[in-house]
Structure 1
Amino acid sequence: MKGIKTLASFTAIAVCLGAASMVNAATITSPAAGSTFSAPGTITVSSPASGNIPVQCNITFSGTVASDSKTASITNATVSGSNFLCGIPVMQNLPWTLTPTSTTTATVSGVSFKILSNCGTANVLTNYAGGALTLSTTPQSVGTCKITQLSVSPNPTFVITNP
């Protein structure tokens, strides 16, 4: 009987903690739920194809804010630039999911691309301040490739709140 009471107590605590974390979840309040966005900027990646030398390219993400405003779906990523290597990357595993973890941080889940060969898949940790999304730590590995710099500016500008 004591074991059942202990199990019930732990279950109640887990439910309360889960409810509390849902209440404090960061949300995207702008652009509005269901709205589209574009996020142009730059990215620097090193890969075996570049001899592991960092190559800076232009990148534009586009997507939609989820109907519950808890995430944004990155449905397209286009890479370009003057370096011929900027024309090689192929984005994979789209859509990627951007999930705010606070008013100034977010995780982009499922990031995957190939540069001649498959780099791999990873979750990329970002900072968000002053309208720009940047890497929270560098470099960040995506399999055999490394993102050493990222700076994109969502348009419309994201407003993330923590209710």
Structure 2
Amino acid sequence: MKSLKMRVLGGAVIVMCAAVSAATFAATIGPAGTSFSATGSIITSTQFYANSGCGITVSGVVASDGSYAQINSAAITDGGVCGLPVLNGLPWKLVATSATTFSIENFGFGYAISGLGECGPSTINGSWNVAANTLTTSNQPLGGKCTVNYLSIKASPALTVSP
């Protein structure tokens, strides 16, 4: 019986250490509670279609504890073929995984013309350049045989990241 108690206690200690270790790798986004918008460029593709580059605008708010930023609205801008992709899966959750890396959870897009594909929702990862206040990612696969070939957005006001 004593051996079983020690195994249970040892397992609990391992789980607690893993949870604390995972928490130390996250970074905090600031300023907490701040609304922001961001603009930039996006290139997407499916097995049937690829665009050559469009504008993107997003807006959201940093969580009150800074643990993530929620992107509540997103749209692809510019005319012509840029009117085909439609962003979906909102809200997206932007998490700073370190001072220089991020993930966006629930990212997805589809097309205004049926048959071109539904993409995601998936988690995409990339780099965060705090000095330039820019998030950038490339070659991120999504469900539905789709890819975010390139995404770069610059936030206003500037966001900070603390490890």
TM-score of the superposition, structure 2-length normalised? Answer: 0.86
Shift of the alpha carbon at 1:20? 4.0
* AA partner of residue 91 (structure 2): P
- Contact kept, 8 Å, 1:54 with 1:148, in 2: the verdict is no
Is 1:86 matched with 2:82?
A: yes
Deviation for aligned residue 1:111: 0.5
Output one character per residue of 1:16-38: Cα deviation in whole Å (capped at 9) or x when no partner: 33134324531012xx2221101
Aligned length: 155
What SS does structure 1 have at the residue aligned with 2:156?
coil
Deviation sequence 1:133-153 (CA, Å, 0-9, x none): 001xx3112223211111110
CA contact (8 A) 1:45 1:147 kept: yes
In the superposition, relative to structure 1, how do residues 55 and 68 fare at CA in structure 2: closer, same or farther (>3 Å)? same
8 Å Cα contact 1:44/1:148 also seen in 2? yes
Tell me the percent identity: 32
Over aligned residues, Cα RMSD in angstroms?
Answer: 1.7
Shift of 1:69: 0.5
Indicate the residue corresponding to 1:149 in structure 2.
Answer: 150
Deviation per CA, 1:22-56: give whole Å up to 9, x if none: 24531012xx22211011000111234xx433420
Q: Distance in 2 between matches of 1:12 and 1:76?
A: 41
Equivalent AA in structure 2 for residue 3 of structure 1: L
Name structure 1 gaps, 5 residues minimum.
none
Alignment gaps of 5+ in structure 2 = none
| 1:54-111 alpha-carbon deviations (Å, 9 max, x no partner) | 42000011100011101000001111114x2211222222100001100000100001
Q: Which amino acid in 1 is paired with 2:83?
A: G
Q: CA deviation at 1:128?
A: 0.5
**Structure 1 outlier segments of 4+, above 4 Å:** none
Distance 1:47 1:141 in 2: 10
Give me the TM-score of the superposition, normalised by structure 1.
Answer: 0.86
Distance across 2 between alignment mates of 1:47 and 1:85 = 14
What code does the residue aligned with 1:47 have? T
